[in-house]
């Protein structure tokens, strides 16, 4: 990936972050929606026909586990609310969407995800796998994209723009929280709040480092035998200060992590929606 591409990707992600607080008032062509039903967060991204981020919304939610919709009613409720709110804020019709599932998700589970999105009166034009969606934002044609979200570590290896290998393992940021909760005798929510406090992260790093090293070991195992020149890290778990360095030390391949890693996959999902 060239320096220029990296700068462009970082600008795109930062612009999406700004649009989440302040949506655009004008855009070009038909709006496209991306819905990321994650283990930890539901994120909705809106881009215009040219791929410019227009708006976004997010809600922490426990409606999905390891790519499976475990609370269908809850998921429908959140997606409808977020999408309807964006319709109201933008004063625009939102009609077409794309969504995503972890690599290797079966047809039945993909269908459940699709139905949740359709319940918000969106026509689902594509269902992509999560790390592949992220690669669209990063402009990656060669290398590995590793998405560590709340519940899962997804890995996609790309060669000349094609996905040649995908894997998904059930370890993610939720496991950091569980370790903190066990250590301090806190509830999950209390431990999560402690983890998200940047001031606490240096103290918590030694505690969660073994989980980070486990993620690195998982990634190393899946990369074995592939000629990978770079590893791109996305997903909210990389917002934990120090995690990227642990990965850097444990992998033999250069690693890159954009600002706002949590927003990359949702934005990529929207970009994957055909213009219609």
Q: Which residues bind Mg ion (CB under 5 A)?
A: 38, 149
Range 124-153, binding ligand ATP (CB under 6 A): 149-152
Q: Is 186 in the site for ligand ATP (CB under 6 A)?
A: no
Q: Which does 253 bind (CB under 5 to 8 A by kind): Mg ion, ligand ATP, none?
A: none
Q: Which does 41 bind (CB under 5 to 8 A by kind): Mg ion, ligand ATP, none?
A: ligand ATP
Nearer to ligand ATP, 143 or 173 (CB): 173
Contact 219, 247 (CB under 8 A): yes
For 160, phi then psi, to 5°, come to 50, 45
Nearer to ligand ATP, 27 or 240 (CB): 240
Per-residue contact track with ligand ATP, 241 to 270, x per CB under 6 A? ---------------------x--------
Contact 145, 232 (CB under 8 A): yes
Taking each helix axis from N to C terminus, what angle separates 3-21 and 261-272, rounded to the nearest 10 degrees?
A: 90
HSE toward the beta carbon, residue 212, CA cutoff 13 A = 22
Q: Is 239 in the site for ligand ATP (CB under 6 A)?
A: yes
CA-only gyration radius of the chain, Å: 18
Nearer to ligand ATP, 87 or 105 (CB): 105
Residue 75: CB minimum distance to ligand ATP, A: 12
Contact 86, 55 (CB under 8 A): yes
Q: Is 31 in the site for ligand ATP (CB under 6 A)?
A: no
CB atoms within 10 A of CB 249: 11
Nearer to ligand ATP, 198 or 254 (CB): 198
Contact 235, 99 (CB under 8 A): no
Q: From 93, 85, 149, select the one nearest 122 (Cα to Cα).
A: 93
Q: How far apart (Å, rounded) are the C-alpha atoms in residues 37 and 93?
A: 21
Among 75, 174, 215, 260, binds ligand ATP (CB under 6 A): 174
Indicate the DSSP class of residue 186: -
Q: Is 34 in the site for ligand ATP (CB under 6 A)?
A: no
Nearer to Mg ion, 170 or 186 (CB): 170
> Residue 143: enclosing H or E segment and its boundaries?
strand 143-148
Q: Which does 236 bind (CB under 5 to 8 A by kind): ligand ATP, Mg ion, none?
A: ligand ATP
> Residue 127: enclosing H or E segment and its boundaries?
strand 123-129
- Segment interacting with ligand ATP, rule: CB under 6 A, options 23-31, 85-93, 171-179, 251-259: 171-179
By CB under 6 A, name the binding residues for ligand ATP.
36, 38-41, 149-152, 172-174, 192, 195-196, 235-237, 239-240, 262
């Amino acid at each position: 990936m060239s320096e220029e591409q990296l700068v462009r990707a970082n600008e795109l992600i930062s612009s999406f972050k700004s649009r989440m607080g302040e949506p655009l008032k004008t855009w070009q062509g038909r709006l496209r929606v991306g819905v990321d039903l994650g283990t930890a967060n539901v994120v909705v991204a809106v881009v215009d026909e040219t791929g410019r981020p227009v708006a976004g919304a997010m809600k922490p939610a426990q409606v999905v586990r390891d790519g499976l919709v475990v609370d269908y009613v809850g998921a429908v409720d959140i997606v409808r609310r977020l999408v309807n709110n964006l319709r109201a804020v933008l004063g625009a019709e939102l009609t077409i969407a794309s969504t995503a599932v972890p690599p290797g998700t079966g047809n039945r589970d993909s269908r459940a995800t699709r139905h949740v999105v359709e319940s918000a009166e969106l026509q689902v034009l594509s269902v992509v796998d999560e790390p592949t969606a992220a690669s669209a934002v990063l402009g990656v044609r060669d290398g590995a994209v590793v998405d560590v979200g709340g519940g899962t570590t997804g890995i996609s290896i790309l060669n000349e723009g094609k996905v040649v290998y995908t894997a998904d393992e059930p370890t993610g940021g939720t496991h950091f929280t569980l370790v903190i909760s066990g250590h301090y005798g806190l509830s999950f929510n209390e431990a999560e709040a402690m983890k998200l406090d940047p001031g606490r992260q240096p103290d918590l790093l030694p505690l969660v480092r073994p989980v980070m090293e486990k993620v690195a070991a998982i990634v190393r195992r899946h990369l074995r035998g592939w000629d990978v020149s770079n590893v791109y890290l996305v997903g909210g778990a990389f917002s934990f200060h120090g995690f990227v360095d642990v990965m850097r030390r444990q992998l033999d391949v250069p690693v890159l992590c954009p600002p706002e890693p949590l927003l990359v996959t949702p934005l990529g999902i929207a970009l994957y929606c055909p213009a219609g």
